[in-house]
Amino acid sequence: MAIEVRGVNKSFGSTPVLSDVSVDVRSGALTALLGPSGGGKSTLLRVIAGLEQPDSGTVRISGVDATRLSPQRRNVGFVFQHYAAFKHLTVFRNVAFGLEIRKRPGAEIRRRVRELLELVHLEQFADRYPHQLSGGQRQRMALARALAVEPEVLLLDEPFGALDAQVRRELRTWLRRLHDEVHVTTVFVTHDQEEAIEVADDLVLLADGRVKQAGRPHVLYDDPADTFVMSFLGPVTRLDGQLVRPHDLELSVDPVPAGVPATVSRVVRLGFEVRVELVVDGQEAYAQVTRRTADRLGLDPGAPVYVRRSPEARGAAVAAG
C-alpha cells in the first residue's frame, strides 16, 4: 500500500471532522476521495500531506510512519483547489521551486522543468506569470510543480473544482492519460460522482467524517453498503419499499411474474434515453428505458403498465429506510 491511514480522528474545536477514518491507497492507482460538501475530504487529504495533525491515529506513506513528519519531509505532491500559484514567480520558476530548494544543478533543473512543461502542454508559457494564465493552465502548472519533486504520492484537492464544465471534462480525461503515463500514486478529491467513477481506479466515499464504503467504482455502484452510498453514486427510485436504479426497471404492457401494476404519468425524452414517470401504489417512481423500448411499448400518460426489477439487473436493491 502506498498510503495507509489508520483510525484517524480530527476535530476542530468541539466539532468532529474525521471519526475513526481508515483508508488504504494502492500503489500506482488513481483513487478518488468522494463525498458531499463538508464531509471531511479536504481535511483527510491535508492530514495525509501533513498540513493538519490528526488528534489520534496514524498515517503511513510507502510503509513509513509519517504521522509526526512535517509536510516538508513527507515528499508528497499537493495541488490546492485554488492552485496556490507563486504569484511573483514565472511558470518556469514555479515548477522549478522544489528542485531549487533541493539545490539541484541548474542544467538539471532546466531540463526537468522543460520536460514537465511539455508533459502539461505549457512549454510556450514558461516565461509568463500565473496571472497571465487561464484557470486550466494554472491548474496544469500546479500539477507540474507538484510532480517536479518526484513525490511518492500526489494529492489533488478538487483539481477541477473551479473550472467550467467543458474544461473540467477535458482535464479529467487528460489527468487519466497523464496518470497512465506517469504512474504516480494519486488521490484526488471530488464531490462529483460521475467524475470519480469515470476517472478513478478506486473510490473512497467519505461523509460526515466517516468512510461509508471503499473499493472499485463498479462494486460501490452495483453493491452499495447502504442507501446513502447507493443514492450518492447514481440515480435511484423506489419500488416496493426498495431503492433501485431506474435503469434496472423493466416495463411491460402485459402482466409479468413479480410485475407491479403502475400508471404512466409522464414520458420525458432525453435524447437517447427516455424517462418514464410512474405512479405505483400511489407513490411516485420513475424508470429509465431506451428510446426503442419506449417506442415498442407505445407509452403515453395514463397508460397502465407492469413494472419490475429486471431479472438481469446487476445492481442490488437496498431496503429503503
Ligand X SMILES: Nc1ncnc2c1ncn2[C@@H]1O[C@H](COP(=O)(O)OP(=O)(O)OP(=O)(O)O)[C@@H](O)[C@H]1O
Dihedral angle, C-alpha 219, 220, 226, 228, nearest 10 °: -160
Side-chain half-sphere exposure of 213, counting CA atoms within 13 A: 19
Q: How many CB atoms lie within 10 A of CB 235?
A: 13
Query: How many Å apart are CA 131 and CA 127, to the nearest integer?
Result: 12
Answer for which of 15, 70, 124, 166 binds other proteins (CB under 8 A) is: 70
Q: C-beta of 158: minimal distance to ligand X in Å? A: 6
Residue 37 in contact with ligand X, rule: CB under 6 A:
yes
Residue 76 in contact with other proteins, rule: CB under 8 A:
yes
Residue 75 in contact with other proteins, rule: CB under 8 A:
yes
Handedness of CA 223, 224, 230, 234 (dihedral sign): negative
Is there a contact between 222 and 289 (Cβ–Cβ < 8 Å)? Answer: no
Say which entry of Mg ion, other proteins, ligand X, none residue 191 contacts (CB below 5 to 8 A, set by partner kind): ligand X
Query: How many Å apart are CA 41 and CA 302, to the nearest integer?
Result: 46
Residues 118-147 that bind other proteins (CB under 8 A): 142, 145-146
Nearer to ligand X, 43 or 137 (CB): 43
Nearer to ligand X, 43 or 185 (CB): 43
**What is residue 192's three-state secondary structure?**
coil
Place of cell 474544461: 167
Q: C-beta of 13: minimal distance to other proteins in Å? A: 11
Answer for which of 68, 102, 218, 291 binds other proteins (CB under 8 A) is: 102
Residues 165-224 that bind ligand X (CB under 6 A): 191
Residue 162 in contact with other proteins, rule: CB under 8 A:
no
Answer for which of 23, 25, 42, 78 binds Mg ion (CB under 5 A) is: 42
Residue 17 in contact with ligand X, rule: CB under 6 A:
yes
Query: How many Å apart are CA 64 and CA 316, to the nearest integer?
Result: 39
Say which entry of ligand X, Mg ion, other proteins, none residue 125 contacts (CB below 5 to 8 A, set by partner kind): none
Is there a contact between 207 and 227 (Cβ–Cβ < 8 Å)? Answer: no
For binding to ligand X (CB under 6 A), which residues are involved?
12, 17, 35, 37-43, 191
